[in-house]
Amino acid sequence: MATIKSLVVPPLYSKILSNFPSNFSFCFAYGSGVKKQTDNVGPTPNSNVIDLVFCVDNAYEWHERNLQLNKWHYSGLKYLGHHNITKFQRGYGAKVYFNTLIPLEEVTIKYGVVSRQDLITDLLEWSDLYLAGRLHKPVEIVIHPTSSELQTAIQLNLQSAVHASLLILPETFTEYQFYHTVANLSYAGDFRMIFGENKQKVDNIVRPQLLKFRDLYKPFLKNLHDYVDFPVDTVSETETVKCLQDVGPLSRLHHLNQLPRWPQKALTKFWNRGTVRQDTEDVLRAIAYDPDCNLIVNKCVNGIVWQSSISQSLKSALTAGVVKSLRYSAKKITKMLR
């Protein structure tokens, strides 16, 4: 499988990580403070919050040590101790615990902590499509995965995004539309897109990073030449190509069978709303022949994102505390209204 490529990590990240317990199994940075977006001039750490995700093998031990080093990062939940913090992290929302608006010397960061096994589950099954969705887009790998299981899950998550996006797209589409669909998988159902996020957020992410998206997904698309004509090797670096895919039932069924477990469960539940109950295999076959296949898949993926975005946002309000939650929300709304 292809590997996720990393840019040279600036010394800034080393300085940031030196403030935390060192037992990471994976770490990545994302967002407008890291990756150039259309609505900002580029990665500008001094003015944008740097978003980080810390993947750890043992969340109990990590929070215990982090409370000793950085107790002030936590809201009032710190008084419950590291055991309860970890139970809260793993038992609610998208199984991520965020500390928000942490000033560290010349930068401000927001960091989420996730257990390695919970991240792998989301990557493989799309149980929340939360961190899995963030890893559908180009990110900056700060610490590469320390286990082959996690590295494989990251690659399979990208592969799943290809199958889901092709199911949603029509017979003909552009390269840009494909990457927009990929990036939109984890945004279209997010309730924050109704109010609190820039409505052009996905476009702002994709346009300035089209080459990075191409680099990320080209290895997977090459393996699907029987199903889609995606000629990215025949064009210049700046040209966005036109693509053609087979939207026949057999091709649709192939993509449906490659979807992660939770979207397949959602499709089965959606299809079995009537009195007749069918198993997943029969449901996927029926949906493959349905002319509204793309709409059904889109609806079911959005449903997963809707639920996790609400529960994780409520959880983050508690982990950040009232004052920081209001400040962070105000930053989002101000940016949206610019």
> DSSP labels for 9-29?
PPHHHHHHHTTS-S-EEEEEE
**Which residue positions in the chain have pLDDT lower than 50?**
1-8, 41-46, 326, 329-330, 332-337
Q: What is the model's pLDDT at position 3? A: 42
Q: What is the model's pLDDT at position 201? A: 86
Question: Which residue(s) pair with 243 in the sheet?
Answer: 173
The two tokens of residue 312 are 């994780």
Sheet containing strand 140-143, edge to edge, reads 97-104, 107-115, 50-56, 24-30, 140-143
Q: What is the mean pLDDT of the chain?
A: 86
Question: CA 1 to CA 217: how far, in whole Å?
Answer: 11
Question: CA 67 to CA 61: how far, in whole Å?
Answer: 10
Question: CA 136 to CA 129: how far, in whole Å?
Answer: 10
Question: Checking DSSP bridges between strand 97-104 and strand 140-143, what pairing results, if any?
Answer: unpaired
Sheet containing strand 242-245, edge to edge, reads 172-174, 242-245, 228-229
pTM listed for this prediction: 0.88
Question: Between helices 293-320 and 322-337, what is the axis angle to 10°?
Answer: 130
Q: What is the model's pLDDT at position 49? A: 86
Cα end-to-end span (Å), the chain: 41
Q: What is the model's pLDDT at position 21? A: 95
Of the candidates 122, 104, 123, the one whose C-alpha atom is nearest the C-alpha of residue 14 is 104
Show the CA angle centred on residue 116, arms to residues 65 and 130, nearest 5°: 110
Q: What is the model's pLDDT at position 312? A: 82
